[in-house]
Structure 1
């Protein structure tokens, strides 16, 4: 009995570690990832300003798993009918159960010139490229444009505003959003607090603005053109190549079929209450725990000698998180229940959440390093 976990982001690592504990000893567990490390994605923006944080947010997969076999390769295709996963080196892996945890990729919505001229932020190399471009082109003035005011765009804007201030650069930071508010997927009190924090950091916010085209030096929008020295795109999430660049819609059981699950940002999920699940680390981690139990229950049932009982009914996933936190430069905004926090209190909460996650996956030394970077830099 072979179980595959494709991807080692938040969903993949959480799921694989749960399956290590819950699967019968006779079941084979394999994790496939395109890198030998797990990246703490929600801290990648920090590497723009503090490259040394890379060591605290990159964890060798060999340190995370005790039982799982790790294959370092890129998934290029998924044949659900044959229950086979294709890899870049030409090999393939068969499975009895598979969880697709490949995350999302930056999508450019077919906007002319955007992919060619904009920098994304998904990996540490992207953070290094943004930092390099800033020091090459932006420290003597000019404009940085960030497209998309979701959590990622907010954090990029805050980080670059802080870097500008540290370098005493005369640089304008402009954050664009097609919808009418920043953080549009969240509650109005959180949106207002984030907007105020960005304004306090000296970020110019232009909501209700649609990007229509990008050239080497200009962003063309429906409200006017903006000349720029650097353009960063954080305006949408698309599917991985292996999923034909799609994020399939899955219901509360998070299944594409009886033996294939999609977890985290790789899917557009609707929970047990019929509510859409936002793309976030907290949702991915909680989804993974539900899927881990469901896969383990099914594997135990299939390996048991007594099949007189009905197959186990999968548990549904219900989206329920205590709140939200987003970094804005050297500050942060947090919502816990109805309560909103800004400044040092929110920053301490974010450091605690990040360190808590690292501790749960056994990366204690990285947790200490992250707290030091978050609170004392």
Structure 2
């Protein structure tokens, strides 16, 4: 039997490692990704101020696998009912697919935004943001960050921290369509994040819907404009091109078709309680375990051909807590308690190192902790 995992993000790596442990040694596992490294996405904003972290956050995929085969190839399409995968240079057939392609930045067909704004999805994006920000540190200027989700908050905070040591006067403005920052999170967490942003020197404008952009101006649906020297867009996610740009909605068993399951940002998941699961690293990793279990059950059933089809596992979203960096500070919510300052920052560092250790990147985890706790300053 052969299982193909499409995408080596959080869900893809976690799911592949789970299958390596649970499937029969005779079963084949192929992990497909167009890049040869796994990116620790939730820490990418740190590369803007600490470019030396880039190597620690890009992990060779083959080093993370025990027996699965890694195939570096671009997925251009797939059939969830036949488990056939279209690649840029051929096809791949399997008994089951795990679709973990992740998501790409959504620009919502807003005129000029794709052309003039920098997203934050790749190391190259972080490096470009840093390069574009350097002249502002010397001569001054304004930065507009679109979207006050976790990514937007983290990059706005990072740039505000860098602006504190700049020779020029740099203003960082974070704009959000809805009425609060981190709008899909608990109210106490929202308030704490808004306070942290304010204290870090970030100007926050909520209730502001971006309509279009030129090379130096952002326009809003209300009819007003905001001039900028640098524009960063983190305002939403869309499905990958291989999935037609869509993030299909699936039920709690994560089944996408007769022979495919999905996990992570590649789909919109409704859990066992009928609640939509947020797009996050912790969500992707936990969904990966459910998808892997269900693939294992169906393969075992097909091998024996006996009895009824197995009862599939179902994903239930459980809030484990939330963490967000805001420059040199952080905000954390664990249970009903929200903390800021040194405790939140230490927790953020521990979680980041813990993920690296969980996928076998122990040296990278050590380097990351040293960079964060060992007194490194923004470059």
Aligned to 1:135: 134
Q: Secondary structure of 1:195's partner? A: helix
> Which residue matches 1:162?
161
- For 1:186 and 1:240, how far apart are their aligned partners in 2? 25
In 2, the alpha carbon distance for the partners of 1:84 and 1:246 equals 18
Q: Deviations over 1:165-219 (max 9, x none)?
A: 1324311000000000000010000000000000000000000001011001000
Post-superposition offset of 1:310: 2.0
- What corresponds to 1:374 in structure 2? 372
Whole-Å Cα distance in 2 between the matches of residues 201 and 221 of structure 1? 25
Q: Tell me if structure 1 keeps the 8 A contact 2:356–2:364.
A: yes
Q: 1: CA distance between counterparts of 2:213 and 2:319?
A: 37
**Is contact 1:143-1:171 (8 Å) kept?**
yes
Per-residue displacement from partner, 1:327-353 (whole Å, max 9, x unpaired)? 110111000000001011001001101
Residue correspondence of structure 1 range 217-366 to structure 2 within 5 A:
217-223=216-222, 224-304=224-304, 307-366=305-364
1:264-305 Cα shifts (integer Å, max 9, x gaps): 00101100000000000000000001111111121122123x
Q: Partner of 1:60 in structure 2?
A: 60
* Cα distance in structure 1, aligned partners of 2:221 and 2:299: 53
- Distance, in Å, in 1 between the alignment partners of 2:173 and 2:82 is 48
CA distance in 2: counterparts of 1:139 and 1:198, whole angstroms:
23
Corresponding residue SS for 1:316:
coil
- Match of 1:174, SS state, is strand
TM-score under structure 1 normalisation?
0.97
CA distance in 1, matches of 2:246, 2:7: 16
User: Take 2:312 and 2:147, find their aligned partners in 1: how far apart are those partners?
Assistant: 36
> What is the CA–CA distance in structure 2 between the aligned matches of 1:81 and 1:57, rounded to whole Å?
35
Partners of 2:340 and 2:63 lie apart in 1 by 35
SS at 2:302's partner residue?
Answer: helix
* 2:139 match: secondary structure: coil
Q: C-alpha distance in 1, partners of 2:283/2:123?
A: 23
Unaligned runs of at least 5 residues, structure 1:
none
TM-score (norm 2): 0.97
| Alignment match, 1:120 | 119
CA deviation string 1:26-76 (max 9, x = no partner): 211000011111110000000011110012111111111011000011111
Distance 1:62 1:71 in 2: 10
Cα separation, 2, equivalents of 1:168 and 1:274? 52
Q: Secondary structure at the match of 2:204?
A: strand
Matched ranges for 1:179-218 at <5 A: 179-218=178-217
Q: How many Å apart are 1:79 and its aligned residue?
A: 2.5
User: Distance in 2 between the 1:285 and 1:25 partners?
Assistant: 23
* Worse-superposed segment, 211-220 or 130-139: 130-139
Deviation of 1:371 (Å): 1.0
Matched, 1:19 2:19: yes
Relative distance call for 1:166 and 1:138 in structure 2 (3 A) is closer
Retained in 2: the 8 A contact 1:5–1:101? yes
Aligned residues: 374
- Gapped regions of structure 2 (runs ≥ 5): none
